[in-house]
Amino acid sequence: MYQHFILIASVYTKGARVGFQISEKDRVDRERIKSVLDRISEINRADIGVHFLFTESDSWQSVIELDSFFEDVVICGDFGEFEKLLSSDLKITAIDVAKFFLSMQSFSHLQLQKLVYIAYKEYLLKYDRKLFQEKIIAYKYGPVVEEMYRQFKEFGSSSIKMEDDETYVLEDIALPQAIGRMM
């Protein structure tokens, strides 16, 4: 028998569940598990699932055959890759937030700037940290994130529409964890 120590998390920017596994004959070494869990705790994510399973083989396929829950999990080749994917989900930009709002409906550039500012303010008040790193500047008609201004200035006062006409349901949108917490 082989024991599998499996970590799984959703990576919203990739729109996938990713995982990392250690498998060893009989039992996985406790020190290896402790080392991995210590590194995971530094990432500061509460949504990582931990699983222990026994199969007849050390292969990932044996895990899928035991439980189809793991079928869509993309296994990372090494722990560093898994860490990098989890960390990438923690940082978003003002443009990510803007695109999230635009995925629900169209807004003018000015409306979008104000919505992003309100989201930033609410997130800051609730979690005592910045939603994104870009600076917000006070302009005559309201707050402006210059990176957003450059991205959307071509629309002027017209409504900005996403490139496709699909209507999105919230569960179908791949969004960073920070936006998910904000909602």
Beta bridge partners of 49: 8
Helices (H), the chain: 30-43, 60-66, 79-88, 94-104, 109-127, 146-152, 177-182
Whether residues 116 and 66 fall in one domain: no
Residues 100 and 172 in one domain: yes
Domain end point (choices 53, 70, 88)? 88
> Could you tell me if 82 and 162 are in contact, meaning their C-beta atoms sit under 8 angstroms apart?
no
Residues 75 and 130 in one domain: no
Per-residue confidence (pLDDT) for residue 55, from 0 to 100: 97
Cα(178)–Cα(163) distance, integer angstroms:
24
Quote the number of domains for the chain: 2
In this structure, are 125 and 83 located in the same domain? no
Give the separation between CA 71 and CA 17, rounded to whole angstroms.
10
Query: What is the average pLDDT across 13-34?
Result: 93
Of the residues 47, 68, 88, the one at which a domain ends: 88
Please tell me whether residues 79 and 98 are part of one structural domain.
no
The pLDDT score that the predictor gives to residue 92 is 83
Residue in the block written with tokens 């598990």: 33
pLDDT digits (tens, 9 = 90+) for 3-22: 999 999 998 777 899 999 99
**If you average pLDDT over residues 69-81, what whole number do you get?**
95
* b/e code 97-109 from CB counts within 10 Å (16+ = b): bbbbbbbeeebeb
For residues 109 and 175, state if they share a domain: yes
Q: Of the candidates 88, 103, 129, which is a domain's last residue? A: 88
Range of the domain at 145: 94-182
